[in-house]
A = this chain, B = another copy of it.
């Protein structure tokens, strides 16, 4: 599914390439969350030296996909419910502000382009009952465009370069293709409207609500899963 972030340039050095592969492996769950990373083992697997691997590990650490302890080693980051909620709260703050800045700083061309994109997505959506597709690609496209539209390097780097790797990881690990597609689509078009009106305050508020709604949706889903598990346990005891 790829869906790489739009800010990064092509990987030139081998450490970069290995970084990308590892990133993919972690996000997709091929490397289990929380598992220990053996430098000699991984280096052998990718047929590179430990120095090069460590360079790649440093980049993984930069986007919070692994955690390192001095003299002990690295672990793939753990996906917890608390972590997910903390992540979404941070995202709400950053992307909310990015959206406000986008309303102030986007060029008319950029706005027009984003409106086109949404129209096109609307077509796709109608075409294929629009759940799966819109959820994945369309959603990310929209959010990336807004973030880049802020024209704020600091925000762009923090959100695209760091936060979104983790978000994608959580999405994969927790299997989050939530059924909010059509509602999300409406929210997106309202946000674009606010940006087109150059109404930064409203744009920020709508984006924050949009992300908060997504967060609450996840909370509910997890709560249900927990209840389901509990139910299964009871069933098991009875039998």
Contacts and interface: CB of A to CB of B under 8 A. Distances in A.
A123 to B, nearest CB: 34
A23 interface: no
Interface in A81-123: 83, 86-87, 89-90, 92-94, 96-97, 101
A97 B101 contact: no
A152 B97 contact: no
A58 interface: yes
Interface string A35-61: 000000000000000010011001001
Nearest to A98: B93
Interface stretch (A127-135, A153-161, A173-181, A183-191): A153-161
B158 A70 contact: no
A126 interface: no
A231 interface: no
A235 interface: no
Interface of A: 12-13, 16, 51, 54-55, 58, 61-62, 64, 70-71, 83, 86-87, 89-90, 92-94, 96-97, 101, 152-155, 157-158, 162
Given A64-B157, A89-B154, A90-B97, 13 more contacts: A12-B70, A55-B58, A61-B62, A62-B62, A86-B152, A86-B153, A90-B94, A90-B155, A93-B93, A93-B96, A93-B155, A94-B94, A158-B158
